[in-house]
Amino acid sequence: MIKKEIKFNESEILEQLNLAFNGVPSVYYPVGRPEDIKYNFFLDLEHGYCETAGNSIHLYADSTRWVIVFEKSGYQNRSKTAEIELYYVGNCIDYPIEKQPERNYITNVSRLILIDSIEFERIENKDGAEMERFELIGQNIEEIKIRDKFVSYDNPKKRIKFGDLIRYLHETNPTLISATEDEIQKHIPKDIPKLMKIDEFHFISSYEDTNLPSQQETYKLIAKVLTTGDTTNWKTTQKPNNSWKNWKSGHL
């Protein structure tokens, strides 16, 4: 069976971004069963359970398909892990599904572990008072396991916080804690062209409900780039502010 080609426009892209912003699944989600639960998330640089380090936006499109992938790295203080989160919005996504006997959980987010909780427990400081141990790297640690590979670790000041470690890596070796193309493309068609990666952009708090993506310059320009395939349409007039230095992880 040959699928009918469906063109897309800027309005559709902005509508899909608005749905993710409001947590409402789109028509592109699998139908599933009545008992299935569907999650649609939007990029959040302020989440109280994540000390954000890096973030960027990846754009893919051809004449009929389009995908936006928001990438965020950071320290997850609830699970005691360092992770990459990939948020997918588009019309050709193979949505991650967690299958359970009672129901399936369908989401637009894929998570990649950078440093697991076992490794953080190993490198956590074991000496001194509780506040000198909690989520602080020990003074004698010389290497840290990141993505299942040991990386040399040198910290003259000692006892750096877990979250600060991920931010330090973002500033000094961002590739180490960034998603690869294969990891990003796991849930999108392999043959869809990549148009660009945006490392600096103007971000408005996702906790301000009145600021829908469709009303923001950043996402209007993204929609224009996707529909035209022309990256020169990324002509932002607003100052980039997406660095972790501008956002405090505190909203829940």
Pairing assessment for the beta strands 104-106 and 143-146 based on DSSP bridges: unpaired
Average pLDDT over residues 181-200: 98
pTM of the model: 0.93
**pLDDT at residue 130, rounded to an integer:** 67
**pLDDT at residue 198, rounded to an integer:** 98
Residue 97 CB neighbour total at 10 angstroms: 14
Asked whether the predicted pLDDT for residue 87 surpasses 70, the reply is yes
Q: Which two tokens stand for residue 118?
A: 């076992």
**pLDDT at residue 1, rounded to an integer:** 30
**pLDDT at residue 182, rounded to an integer:** 97
Asked whether the predicted pLDDT for residue 251 surpasses 80, the reply is no
pLDDT exceeding 90 applies to what percent of the chain?
85
Average pLDDT over residues 217-223: 98
Weakest mean pLDDT among 41-45, 115-119, 155-159, 195-199: 155-159
Residue range 143-190, pLDDT digits in tens: 999 999 999 988 766 679 999 999 999 999 999 999 999 999 999 999
Every domain of the chain and the residues it spans: 10-114+174-246
* CA dist., res. 85 & res. 42, Å (int): 11
Angle between helices 10-22 and 217-228 (to 10 degrees): 140
**pLDDT at residue 4, rounded to an integer:** 39
Asked whether the predicted pLDDT for residue 131 surpasses 80, the reply is no
